[in-house]
């Protein structure tokens, strides 16, 4: 059974200008100095909500390379009920969920919490990260891109 | 009562690199030759779903300048029940709604219909338009940007 | 493609007694002196939610004849995020949405806001308007009545 | 604790013209010869969905007087899973639920099933019954009318 | 038309160890001294939400034997809007609904209300009752077990 | 900030009879010979849906000990879009989701798929596993039990 409708590589070939823009958009927050661990949690959570298997796998693997703790990766799916996330992470995740489930609106509470933990500029860049993963999710889920294979561990002898 | 949490202009100032990327992303589909009337309907519908008043007003005014028929602008909110939309428009609107309400998935039916009316490349660019308005909607709705005022009609004497 | 399952005219023929009652019910609020612009906004919003294309078109055309401002017609779909609606209009629209999406209940907040802006009698008549458009929507959406054509502008020479 | 926001009697006093119309609308289907047991099941189910305690109680008591079997009254809340309802009753209940939860649309399947069991005229009157209970539900739930007390059994000696 | 996918008796035969455990789980709360009328209301409401016709019928018949008032059985489906339920019953029903619709979470308000009316131990047993009916509902609704027939009234002469 | 309302240990103390029954219920499927990897995937997925952080952590740690592949643990949250799950696993996960989100019903398609991959007896035991994790989830999420700490890796010298 071929699961995918098309693949990540097809996107690059069919619309290279769009591909470059989306790639750049996804890097803007880190470039502006936002914490990479936080950005990975945010992108993983949005990808879970949006049902993009390619994106979940991509950000799991990237998070592992960046050293995001395993417990955070495993529990971000139920972060509201998991005490190991900091207040700042919770504010970012609540902002992420509200923006990802946008038709339900962004409440004053969620905005107040986000504003308490992030400067105006930080929140704008955080929003750009949420928006960018929402773009990738729309491509990855719509086309059902195949998740990347987990790279084999390096040989012990190497 | 001040309604807005911040304004469109603030976005430009706080994160000019992101602003430029999102602007370019929003123009890619038209540049690639997609029908502008269709793109406006798609962007208007996503903005209605996502509750972005700034974006609804922006695309209403732009649509009026482009000559999109008033009935289409008024009825796109209930397009499934309105016979004046063509099969191609309906396929694009169904694709738009599925991608905008992404957590509910993109069914094989919606994908088949979209693929029947758009080439692989067209559908990629259409997806970029849907993704880009979803980005704008996330900024506009989260910050509750004030909708632009409708420009006054030109003076009779002019 | 014939879209409709039956038409508005069929309703009148098949059950003239019901037709007359529903018509009368829809006129009660205006007869009791309620503001017609407000009633149109309320009926348009309910028709959008309920997906009745016939009703959306009907109340758009009627609103235009009554002189309801174009911005209000365009933005009522996202009225919560649009500052141009007055506090009284917002109270009426929140009441309308709660009653139209009734299985979710009518909260004390929505009731308090409605009671602050409308007398007991006004609110009863407003409720009758919401109820009546919900009746029309049930007929129009169930049978997928064809929206009326927009009347041609009168000839300049006429 | 007073639960109600106003009462059934207040409706009659505040807007007697509306009251009379809604009463007449609710009687149209029975007048046109529709089966009263079926109409009660339909009205009870809509009232359960819409959360109108006054209407649930009213139609339970009325159903008991009309001799609707107790099992049907108890199981109509889960009628899809309960084999005791006839195909005609199921078609009417599916039509009722679709019309009561209107924002979700009325599918071709539900319409086909309804059309298979009811003539065009019967379905119009059935729709009027669904619409009328939806009107009562909107008043009863919005104002949280107090359900009527169950009448005491007649004295044995009487 | 055979409605059921399998029957209650099949469960007992196919997995007798599970059957015995579920039966015992369902009796734990009453054994611990919880009020049987309250437990029936809770189990009836969960069964209505979960769409288990077998369970609705079972707990209706059991409630009747236990003497739960008819009005409570009829109105528990809209208990939020029905003033005849006591504060303690309302706290239990809100706890039941939150736990039955678990993906939506159990709010601090619902927990506070439950804790105000039940001791820690009582609430644990109440939770076991809610959990146990949710188990039965999962079997009964998944397999569409046929509801039991209402026993005939004993002969007057007997 | 203390997150938890009470803890796993409290459950054991307050209602030891219930605790023992739920424990036994959760072990029945493995005892009957069902594949433990599959049971862990099913329990993890239900716990994610129900928002039980304690249960997610418990079944992640247990799965790691049992050698369930990391990719399956990471992608089970989006299993519909992830090709690495077998047809049998997909049937079990679809059954699990339907039973966990029970108010939405268990469709004939989901039942047919489950019946194609599991014998009548296997499906009954699988259902017991889904039901049992739904019981644990109700306790764990309602009381917001603190997730267990990940055990430190054994000392190299040990």
Is there a domain that residue C153 lies in?
no
The band of F127, judged by pLDDT with boundaries at 50, 70 and 90, is very high
Our CA angle for D75, E99, D76, nearest 5°, is 10
Cβ–Cβ under 8 Å, residues E154 and E54: no
Instruction: With CB atoms and an 8 Å threshold, state whether F51 touches A1.
Output: no
Check residue F158 and give its pLDDT: 42
Check residue B1 and give its pLDDT: 39
Question: Residue F51: left if φ>0, alpha if ψ -120 to 50, beta else—which one?
Answer: left
Subunits with 3+ C-beta pairs closer than 8 A to A:
B, F
Question: Chain D residues with CB inside 8 Å of C14's CB?
Answer: 120-121, 124
The alpha carbon of residue C49 is apart from the nearest alpha carbon of chain B, in Å, by 8
Instruction: With CB atoms and an 8 Å threshold, state whether B81 touches C150.
Output: no
No. of helices (H) and no. of strands (E), chain C: 8, 0
Is there a domain that residue E152 lies in?
no
CB-nearest to A57 from F3, F48, F75 is F75
Q: Tokens in use for C26?
A: 């829809």
**Domain containing B36: what range?**
16-145
The alpha carbon of residue E140 is apart from the nearest alpha carbon of chain D, in Å, by 10
Quick: pLDDT tens for E1-47: 358 999 999 999 999 999 999 999 999 999 999 999 999 999 999 99
Cβ–Cβ under 8 Å, residues C139 and C10: no
Q: Tokens in use for C115?
A: 């009671």
> Sign of dihedral through CA atoms D122, D127, D132, D134?
positive
F103 in contact with chain E, both atoms CB, cutoff 8 A: yes
Quick: pLDDT tens for C68-118: 999 999 999 999 999 999 999 999 999 999 999 999 999 999 999 999 999
Quick: pLDDT tens for B102-129: 999 999 999 999 999 999 999 999 999 9
Q: Is the pLDDT of residue F1 over 90?
A: no
End-to-end CA distance of chain F: 36
- d(Cα A84, Cα A79) in Å, to the nearest integer? 8
Is there a domain that residue E123 lies in?
yes
The alpha carbon of residue A64 is apart from the nearest alpha carbon of chain F, in Å, by 12
In A14-28, which positions are buried (b, 16+ CB within 10 angstroms) versus exposed (e)?
Answer: bbeebbebbebbbbb
Q: Among C22, C113, C138, C139, pick the best mutation site for testing chain D contact (most D Cβ within 10 A).
A: C138
**What distance lies between CA D26 and its chain's CA centroid?**
9
- d(Cα A118, Cα B155) in Å, to the nearest integer? 47
Quick: pLDDT tens for E43-82: 999 999 999 999 999 999 999 999 999 999 999 999 999 9
- Picking from C86, C128, C91, the residue whose alpha carbon sits closest to that of residue C107 is C91
CB-nearest to E74 from D52, D57, D81 is D57
Name the domain count of chain D.
Answer: 1
Subunits with 3+ C-beta pairs closer than 8 A to E:
D, F
Quick: pLDDT tens for B37-93: 999 999 999 999 999 999 999 999 999 999 999 999 999 999 999 999 999 999 999
Instruction: With CB atoms and an 8 Å threshold, state whether F78 touches A56.
Output: yes
> Sign of dihedral through CA atoms E112, E115, E120, E125?
negative
Share of chain B above pLDDT 70, in %: 96
- d(Cα D2, Cα D118) in Å, to the nearest integer? 43
Quick: pLDDT tens for D67-105: 999 999 999 999 999 999 999 999 999 999 999 999 999
CB atoms within 10 A of CB C142: 25
CB-nearest to B78 from C56, C73, C146 is C56
Could you give the 3-state DSSP secondary structure of residue C119?
coil
Is there a domain that residue B28 lies in?
yes
The count of residues in chain E is: 158
Cβ–Cβ under 8 Å, residues B60 and C78: no
- Picking from D131, D141, D139, D95, the residue whose alpha carbon sits closest to that of residue C138 is D131
DSSP string computed for D32-74: TT--HHHHHHHHHHHHHHHT-HHHHHHHHHHHHHHT--HHHHH
F88 in contact with chain A, both atoms CB, cutoff 8 A: no
Could you give the 3-state DSSP secondary structure of residue F152?
coil
Question: Chain E residues with CB inside 8 Å of F135's CB?
Answer: 25, 131-132, 134-135
Question: Chain B residues with CB inside 8 Å of C84's CB?
Answer: 147
Instruction: With CB atoms and an 8 Å threshold, state whether A25 touches B28.
Output: no
Q: Is the pLDDT of residue C139 over 80?
A: yes
Task: Enter the pTM of the model.
Answer: 0.96
The band of C3, judged by pLDDT with boundaries at 50, 70 and 90, is confident
B134 in contact with chain A, both atoms CB, cutoff 8 A: yes
DSSP string computed for C91-120: HHHHHHHHHHTGGG---HHHHHHHHHHS-H
Instruction: With CB atoms and an 8 Å threshold, state whether E57 touches D51.
Output: no
The band of C41, judged by pLDDT with boundaries at 50, 70 and 90, is very high
Considering only alpha carbons, which residue of chain C is nearest residue B143?
C81
CATH of the domain at E79: 1.20.1290.10
The alpha carbon of residue D121 is apart from the nearest alpha carbon of chain E, in Å, by 29
Interface confidence, given as ipTM, is: 0.94
Question: Chain E residues with CB inside 8 Å of F141's CB?
Answer: 102, 105-106
DSSP string computed for chain B: ----SS-HHHHHHH-HHHHHHHHHHHHHHHHTT--HHHHHHHHHHHHHHHT-HHHHHHHHHHHHHHT--HHHHHHGGGGGG-TTS-HHHHHHHHHHHHHHTGGG---HHHHHHHHHHS-HHHHHHHHHHHHHHHHHHHHHHHTTPPPPPPPPPPPTT-
Cβ–Cβ under 8 Å, residues F147 and F53: yes
Instruction: With CB atoms and an 8 Å threshold, state whether D144 touches E81.
Output: yes
What is the pLDDT averaged over residues F20-26?
98
Cβ–Cβ under 8 Å, residues A127 and A31: no
- d(Cα E140, Cα E51) in Å, to the nearest integer? 9
Check residue B154 and give its pLDDT: 58
Check residue E137 and give its pLDDT: 98
Q: What is the CA radius of gyration of chain A?
A: 16
F116 in contact with chain E, both atoms CB, cutoff 8 A: no
In terms of Cβ atoms closer than 10 Å to its own Cβ (0-12, 13-18, 19+), residue C112 is: exposed
Whole-number average pLDDT of chain E: 95
Our CA angle for D121, D124, D125, nearest 5°, is 90
Question: Chain D residues with CB inside 8 Å of C116's CB?
Answer: none
Is there a domain that residue B90 lies in?
yes
**Alpha-carbon separation of residue A152 from A61, A145, A148, F74 (angstroms):** 12, 21, 12, 17
Check residue C158 and give its pLDDT: 42
> Sign of dihedral through CA atoms A113, A119, A123, A126?
negative
Helices (H), chain A: 8-14, 16-31, 36-50, 53-66, 70-75, 87-100, 108-117, 120-142
Cβ–Cβ under 8 Å, residues C47 and C56: yes
- d(Cα D56, Cα F46) in Å, to the nearest integer? 35
CB atoms within 10 A of CB B20: 15
Instruction: With CB atoms and an 8 Å threshold, state whether C75 touches B57.
Output: yes
D150 in contact with chain E, both atoms CB, cutoff 8 A: yes
What is the pLDDT averaged over residues E101-125?
97
What is the pLDDT averaged over residues F44-72?
98
CB-nearest to C82 from B73, B78, B147 is B147
Considering only alpha carbons, which residue of chain B is nearest residue C144?
B81
**What distance lies between CA B48 and its chain's CA centroid?**
9
Our CA angle for B56, B62, B63, nearest 5°, is 85
Subunits with 3+ C-beta pairs closer than 8 A to D:
C, E
Instruction: With CB atoms and an 8 Å threshold, state whether E53 touches D82.
Output: yes
- d(Cα E112, Cα E87) in Å, to the nearest integer? 13
């Amino acid at each position: 059974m071929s699961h995918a409708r098309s693949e990540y590589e097809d996107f690059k070939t069919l619309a290279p200008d769009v591909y470059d823009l989306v790639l750049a958009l996804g890097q803007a927050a880190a470039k502006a100095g936002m914490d990479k661990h936080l950005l990975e949690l945010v992108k993983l959570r949005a990808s879970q909500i949006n049902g993009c298997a390619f994106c979940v796998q991509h950000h799991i693997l990237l998070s592992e390379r960046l050293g995001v703790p395993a417990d955070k990766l495993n529990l971000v799916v139920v972060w509201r009920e998991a005490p190991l996330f900091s207040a700042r992470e919770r504010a970012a995740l609540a902002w992420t969920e509200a923006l990802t489930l946008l038709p339900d609106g962004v409440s004053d509470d969620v905005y107040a919490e986000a504003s308490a933990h992030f400067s105006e500029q930080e929140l704008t860049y955080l929003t750009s990260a949420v928006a960018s993963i929402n773009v990738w999710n729309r491509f990855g889920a719509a086309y059902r891109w195949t998740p990347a294979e987990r790279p084999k561990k390096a040989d012990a002898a190497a």
